């Protein structure tokens, strides 16, 4: 691969053809959940000026893009993913001027902003839906309405938040589809007017200086031609990666004017084959995708609301499957452990509260940052923030968690057992306030302000940014190194990946190779010592990163301490 003269493109010669691709391979994205990042107004809610105030911290970390979850007008039934207006700023987060300032100041630091677009559904408070309720045929065609009697939903599909996926409106004598909360009505992408509206929204934000977009559950936008009951599951097989989804995305990218920009699609219950299609540059759809199979290895029998220890062998196999598959199909992965919808990785797969908390957080970062794909860091992940461990259901805010807390009890589970499951899997684990320092409210807001909208994790006194910035051995400084290595070594950004010792349950290891450079990554996912025997003589390799000061490498044998990660390099 030849680096071109232009800053944002790479030129690749493949099979006699020259192709241009957005230059995102050596970039790192940082996800911000504004509501929980930094509050400058004192109302207990994070805001856009709070993001601006922390730009120097983010530049110091070394990230290239900031993905901000929705800050558009919203009733906040689903924490902003129920959008009531796509071209405005919810006053609780600030003003359009605040956003323009943030874009300008981020640009000065070489950081681009990515907005989170929720295009599968809108809030029922959105003007479009309200006009549909008022009887306007044009806007009824913006959504999926079906005639029917009050006691017979059009299908037996189940909402992803629990309960039926249809809601009856007596005034209209119709049902509307909501794959998520009842307040989130699915848009009708079969309607060209809807697709044109959404493309215009992208052009609007691009005009504001936005550099990229993340698309929420975008592989659900294409619904079936015929709606029918699902006698095998909850209905998702009829609308996941639907019949027209690739065509719709190609049209959105072209009409929205976002070809060449960094884009990522959140793909719900997707397939490897489809994700190759979504991200192969020849298809002109997205630059990368989020898939979640690797984050279901602690779902008992595939059920998020049933507990089991993580299956590390399944995790390893899934990483291998997706890395090799996307590589073979010229697709591209978004690499991540955490986001606003997931518990904290160090609590799921590491040593939350144990003696190896720091080492396990560093190992988890190493495992994905050295892979083929674009790494995403979720706010606080670079500090090793943990699950909230709230003691009562009253401390939770997430609609999905509250719904399932009740559903579990309706199935006969005790309140304490239901709470235990919520404590482990609630999305609120990723939504507690960012832990900036050890002052009251963890520095998320001033000490004399209103209480934060959700409780601060009680361990903020020992886990916070202020302390880690002063500690050269901190998780923060380790993440700095991970980001710097991706920019220093082309093999990380552009190299092929080959799994190593695939059947070894104790170690996750792989090799990267690019134009004579080789890198070997070896990770111990367990809190015990293990020995790994390499088929390659390691004498010519140098250790460029480890989460322990002293590492044990002899010839072709590597002795790994609990949760140890070692990155070896040879040119």
Residues designated catalytic: 216, 266
The dihedral of CA 11, 12, 16, 18: what is its sign?
Answer: negative
Strand runs labelled E in 323-373: 334-335
Cα-based distances in Å from 29 to 58, 87, 339, 413, 567: 10, 23, 12, 40, 22
- The span from the CA of 510 to the CA of 494, in Å, is 15
Do 305 and 425 meet the contact criterion of CB atoms below 8 Å apart?
A: yes
Bridge partner residues of 31 (DSSP): 67, 378
Q: What are phi and psi of 100, to 5 degrees?
A: -60, -40
Do 158 and 235 meet the contact criterion of CB atoms below 8 Å apart?
A: yes
- The span from the CA of 532 to the CA of 498, in Å, is 17
Give me the DSSP letters along 226-264: S----SSSSSHHHHTT-TTHHHHHHHHHHHHT-TTSEEE
CA triple 79-81-84, angle to 5 deg: 105
Instruction: Tell me the three state secondary structure of residue 299.
Output: strand
Do 122 and 185 meet the contact criterion of CB atoms below 8 Å apart?
A: yes
- The span from the CA of 52 to the CA of 98, in Å, is 9
CA triple 297-324-309, angle to 5 deg: 10
Do 361 and 384 meet the contact criterion of CB atoms below 8 Å apart?
A: yes
Q: In 10 A of CB 206, how many CB atoms?
A: 17
- The span from the CA of 333 to the CA of 318, in Å, is 13
- The span from the CA of 94 to the CA of 45, in Å, is 11
C-alpha 279: how far from chain center: 16
- The span from the CA of 456 to the CA of 431, in Å, is 9
Cα torsion 532, 537, 543, 545 to 10°: value is: -40
Do 243 and 226 meet the contact criterion of CB atoms below 8 Å apart?
A: no
DSSP 8-state secondary structure symbol assigned to residue 290: E
How many H helices and E strands in the chain? 17, 26
């Amino acid at each position: 691969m030849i680096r071109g003269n232009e800053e944002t493109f790479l030129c690749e010669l493949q099979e006699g053809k020259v192709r241009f691709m957005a230059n995102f391979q050596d970039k790192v994205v940082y996800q911000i959940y504004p509501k929980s990042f930094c509050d400058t107004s004192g109302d207990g809610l994070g805001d856009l000026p709070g993001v601006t105030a922390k730009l120097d911290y983010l530049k110091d970390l070394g990230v290239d893009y900031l993905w901000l979850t929705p800050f558009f007008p919203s009733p906040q039934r689903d924490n902003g993913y129920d959008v009531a207006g796509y071209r405005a700023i919810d006053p609780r987060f600030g003003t359009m001027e605040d956003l323009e300032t943030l874009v300008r100041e981020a640009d000065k630091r070489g950081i681009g902003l990515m907005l989170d677009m929720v295009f599968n559904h809108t809030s029922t408070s959105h003007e479009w839906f309200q006009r549909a309720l008022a009887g306007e045929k044009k806007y009824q065609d913006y959504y999926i309405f079906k005639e029917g009697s009050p006691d017979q939903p059009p299908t037996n599909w189940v909402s992803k938040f629990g309960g039926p996926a249809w809601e009856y409106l007596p005034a209209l004598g119709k049902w509307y589809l909501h794959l998520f909360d009842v307040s989130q009505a699915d848009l009708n992408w079969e309607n060209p007017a809807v697709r044109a509206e959404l493309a215009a929204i992208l052009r609007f934000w691009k005009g504001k200086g936005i550099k990229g977009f993340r698309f929420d559950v975008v592989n659900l936008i294409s619904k079936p031609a015929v709606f029918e009951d699902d006698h095998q599951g909850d209905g998702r097989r009829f609308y996941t990666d639907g019949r027209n989804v690739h065509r719709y995305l190609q049209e959105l990218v072209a009409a929205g004017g976002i070809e060449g920009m960094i884009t990522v699609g959140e793909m719900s219950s997707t397939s490897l084959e489809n994700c190759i299609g979504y991200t192969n540059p020849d298809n002109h759809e997205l630059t990368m995708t989020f898939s979640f199979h690797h984050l279901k290895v602690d779902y008992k029998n595939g059920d998020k609301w049933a507990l089991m220890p993580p299956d590390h062998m399944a995790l390893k196999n899934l990483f291998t499957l997706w890395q090799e598959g996307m590589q073979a199909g010229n697709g591209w992965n978004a690499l991540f452990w955490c986001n606003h919808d997931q518990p904290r990785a160090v609590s799921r797969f590491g040593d939350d509260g144990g003696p190896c908390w720091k080492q396990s957080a560093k190992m988890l970062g190493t495992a994905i940052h050295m892979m083929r794909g674009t790494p995403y860091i979720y706010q606080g992940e670079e500090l090793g923030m943990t699950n909230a461990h709230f003691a009562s259901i009253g401390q939770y805010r997430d609609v999905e968690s509250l719904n399932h807390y009740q559903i579990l009890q309706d199935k006969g589970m005790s309140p304490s057992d239901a709470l235990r499951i919520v404590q482990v899997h609630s999305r609120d684990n990723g939504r507690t306030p960012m832990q900036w320092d050890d002052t009251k409210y963890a520095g998320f807001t001033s000490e004399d302000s209103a209480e934060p909208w959700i409780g601060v994790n009680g361990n903020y006194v020992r886990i916070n940014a202020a302390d880690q910035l002063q500690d050269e051995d901190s998780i923060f400084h380790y993440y700095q190194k991970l980001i710097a290595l991706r920019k220093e070594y082309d093999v990380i950004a552009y190299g092929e990946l080959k799994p190593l010792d695939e059947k070894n349950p104790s170690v996750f290891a792989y090799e990267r190779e690019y134009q004579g450079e080789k890198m070997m990554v070896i990770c111990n996912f367990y809190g015990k010592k293990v020995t790994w025997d390499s088929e390659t003589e390691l004498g010519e390799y140098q250790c460029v990163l480890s989460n322990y000061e002293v590492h044990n490498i002899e010839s072709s044998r590597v002795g790994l301490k609990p949760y140890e990660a070692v990155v070896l390099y040879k040119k």
